[in-house]
Structure 1
Amino acid sequence: MTNTEIFSTQTIRQRIDVLLNQGEALTASARADIVALGTAATPELIRILEDRKLWDDQAPGEGFAPIYAAEILGEIGDPDALDALYVAFRKVDRDAILDDALTDAIRAYGQAAIPAGLRALESWDDPFLADLAFLFSELNTSPANQVEGAEQLGLHDPELHRKALQVLLKFFIKYPVPGAELLANFGDPVAVDALSVAMDRYIASAKDDPKYRRPIFALADAIKQLGGALRGEQKGAIMRLKANRSASEVALDKLHAKDSADDSQTVKKDRHLGRNEPCWCGSGRKYKRCHLNDDLAESPDEA
């Protein structure tokens, strides 16, 4: 017996309409009642999520109805909701709370979110590439990153893993700096060769210019995290850039990073790069609201 047979249409609508009445003050019990509906709640939750008028803080629910709808859809985990979650994710303002809720909801699906993401990428193409790359990097599909319940999420599917990696590599080719860190997050050593080639390009362009210090360090760090090794000329470039650091750069390193035990290696930061995570610079702001656009603009061709 399905949830739609257990709960009447009236019961489903009454429970979900609470989102429009309580706003930010949604009680834990009211939320639990909606979650208990299971997949029977999906159509009504999608209805709320897709109503752009409800995204406004002057609308019924004070703008919180779609936020709670996204969160609950992620908790229920109905695959039929993924397309709607991606559509909303594509349209939402990146500074909105709803963006955070949608990111977390899609991420909760694990690798099961990949097929719908690939369909979305076919429709929106490159403008959606960066957003999708960040999401895919956080799905932790590699065997070393498996979590409890991974089999239920379909995280062992090698074909989905391969497709997600292709998206990340495509993003990396366009945006090597954040792309390197996303590949490191994803955890597949297959990416080491591509990272090494990109690092060589940056070194050739840099000519020991300090402005290339972070891109080169980011690439080296990603190579290390994936189990790769730096070649002699790559280690030498890092040593030269470290030696040429300004006083302000040295101070920043002391504040926001731990020096590597091997001076020929890069600085490793204890963080996970995500759009909603604290920025690498230590400002305390979310990465998407701080240095993300700057990192996307960096290119080895700028020398």
Structure 2
Amino acid sequence: MPFFAIAFPVFDPVAVAIGPFAIRWYALAYIAGILLGWLYARMLLQRERLWGGPAPITPVQFDDFILWVTIGIILGGRTGYVLFYNLDFFITHPAEIFELWKGGMSFHGGFMGCVVAVALFGWKRNVSIASLGDITCAVGPIGLFLGRIANFINGELWGRPADDTVPWAMVFPHAGPLPRHPSQLYEAGLEGIVLFLILALMIRAGALKRPGLIIGAFLTFYGLARITGEFFREPDPQLGFLWGGLTMGMLLSVPMVIAGIVVMLLARRAKRAPQSTSLPAGSSEATK
């Protein structure tokens, strides 16, 4: 055990309380993630250079999509948590499935909810599902970063016990006396900052001109980041370690990595989106 550890900065999980009405940091992280992601998405959609011409989705269409994806995140995240992490409990306490304020969301479930929202919206509004998925994945790390910070503020999803080589280990209030890895911050860095930078650099290099490429990159690099973070994160107590020391987070992320590589290869082989060319108004090509 380390000879010293950093004291965990205990936060009040409630950010604002007015009488019986309380807003928690976790809820604010979701709200801020959606708002900041919406603003970043609008910025990307307005830059024709990134798309090789006008974006296949208008900012107004994406404004309408925000409600769809918000519902997808919430329903998918909760459903994933119920099915993947605590099914036995919710079978015996079904009413608590709807008590979202008690916590319990799964990223993998939330991602599947996003997939459904993207597919349904793209089909209903006749917009490119691949490009809509690209822009949604491009902004995803913003919400992931804020969500992990909220996990840290709540003192939940803490890391495994640390040894003497980890001077930044912390004693979490509800995790016993052992200093532990602040795995929430590791994940915020990997799933949030690093993933955002990778996708931003790919977008700058022209990835949005190949629909589906950002989706594949998100799946691949998120999966790798999550698997890495799971080596430092304490498994959920109701599940513990699974086969060979694997965790549920690792098992759910492996298919993401495989699927991501396949999607990237398919996107790279697909025909590149045509670039627009500015032509004189009176030319024959401009009036076709």
Class of the TM-score when normalised by the shorter of the 2 chains: under 0.3
What TM-score results when the alignment is normalised by the length of structure 2?
A: 0.26
Return the structure number with greater relative CO, CA threshold 8 A, min gap 6: 2
Higher helix share: 1
